[in-house]
Amino acid sequence: MTDTTVTTQAPEPPVAPPNVPLPNDQAARSPTGEILEPSQIPTPTTPPVIPPQAPTSTPPKADAPKAPDAYTDFKAPDGYTLAPEVLAEATPIFKELGLTQDQAQRLVDFHSNAMIKAAKAPADTYEATRAEWKAAVDSDPDIRAAVADGKTGTEAVKIGIAKTLNALGDPKLTADFKAAMDLTGAGDNPAFIKAMWKLSAFVTEGKHVQGQNPSVHGQQAPGTTARPTPAAALYPNLPQ
């Protein structure tokens, strides 16, 4: 028996041409909203393909300055010198970075100025502190009221401190003490000056006390015949 079965193949779904809008798209409808026929739908135009432009060649750059074979003639600020050991450590770094002589000199100048400022900072603080101490001494009421050998104020205090140091009986110790005070600036400190001034009272001889006439209440006054009674001596204005 002959097989008469016919095999049918399902038709392939139509493939929409590229860039054809769907019915729901705005491009597939008329201005009033009606769906257009496929023949009435305008075919969108494909933008032209612009071929990539070849990169334009950049002009060759000028050769960058090169590091010298050896760095020489580094200049230091006026009044200062550069430490050779520091330059010996810095020059290999300059060479590694490819710095020119001028570029390396700029770094040397920056380092030198930074070191000078760091060195001056403690000295400036020290001088400012001593100036504040001296101003405090000049305005201290106890020091301004000091009296010694006919002098007053800071001059009297200096005389008293000198007597205190001389009382040590050791000239070398006195000289070394003064040198230490000058070196450290402690001799300008108000607390130190006032302490030394008070110590001078223990090594300064007392002054002569001028006597006066005998008390009329404790002794018999010349020309009287009898001493007053104790009550009259204690209370002379008490009615008798």
Give me the tens of pLDDT residue by residue for the chain, a chain 240 residues long: 445 555 555 556 555 555 556 666 666 677 776 776 766 666 666 666 676 776 666 665 666 678 888 888 899 999 999 999 999 999 999 999 999 999 999 999 999 999 999 999 998 999 999 999 999 998 999 888 888 888 888 898 999 999 999 988 899 999 999 999 988 888 899 999 999 999 988 887 656 566 666 665 555 556 665 677 778 778 878 776
Say what the pLDDT of residue 235 is. Answer: 81
Is there a contact between 179 and 144 (Cβ–Cβ < 8 Å)? no
Closest CA to 114 of 103, 126, 102, 106: 106
CB neighbourhood size of 99 (10 A): 20
Domain extents in the chain: 65-126, 140-203
Q: Rounded to an integer, what distance in angstroms lies between the CA atom of residue 68 and that of residue 76?
A: 20
Say what the pLDDT of residue 69 is. Answer: 85
Alpha-carbon radius of gyration of the chain: 55
Say what the pLDDT of residue 19 is. Answer: 59
Q: Rounded to an integer, what distance in angstroms lies between the CA atom of residue 112 and that of residue 115?
A: 5
Q: Rounded to an integer, what distance in angstroms lies between the CA atom of residue 193 and that of residue 135?
A: 13
Helix crossing, 190-203 with 153-166: angle to 10°? Answer: 60
pTM greater than the 0.75 cutoff: no
